[in-house]
Amino acid sequence: MRRLLLALLLLTVTILGVRHDLTIGTLQIPSVQKSHVDVIVESGQTYTTIIQQLHIPEEITEEQVLHDFLLLNDSKDPEELQAGSIYRFPIYDIHRPIEQ
C-alpha cells in the first residue's frame, strides 16, 4: 500500500512539474525581435565596420548576423559591398525576462 501511495505521489509531482514548465516555464530565455535598417554604404565602409556600428547584442552570434544579412539582401556577398548602394542590415531587440 505504501508503494502505491508513493508511486501516486511521485506521479502527481512529476505531472505538476511538467505542467508548470510547459505553461509558466522555469528558464529565463530572452526573446529576440528581429528587424532591419537600410544602410547606404559610404566609401571605405565594410560589412564588419557597419555591423560594429550597429552594436549587435552579444547573445547574437556572428553566424546568425551573417545569415540574416544574406536573407535580407538576396544572398549578396557581404565582402563585396559597393559604396552608394543600399543594403539591409539586421538589428535585434533583446527583451530580457524580469528577474523574480
10-residue mean pLDDT profile of the chain (100 residues): values are: 89 84 65 80 95 88 92 93 95 65
The per-residue pLDDT for 25 is: 66
Query: For residue 56, what are the domain limits?
Result: 31-95
The per-residue pLDDT for 47 is: 95
Q: Count of domains in the chain?
A: 1
In a domain, 80, yes or no: yes
In a domain, 83, yes or no: yes
In a domain, 19, yes or no: no
In a domain, 1, yes or no: no
Residue with cell 544574406: 70
pTM, two decimals, is 0.62
Residues in the chain: 100
Burial class (CB within 10 angstroms; exposed 0-12, middle 13-18, buried 19+) of 54:
middle
The per-residue pLDDT for 19 is: 80
The per-residue pLDDT for 88 is: 95
Geometric angle at alpha carbon 33, from 47 and 48, rounded to 5°:
10
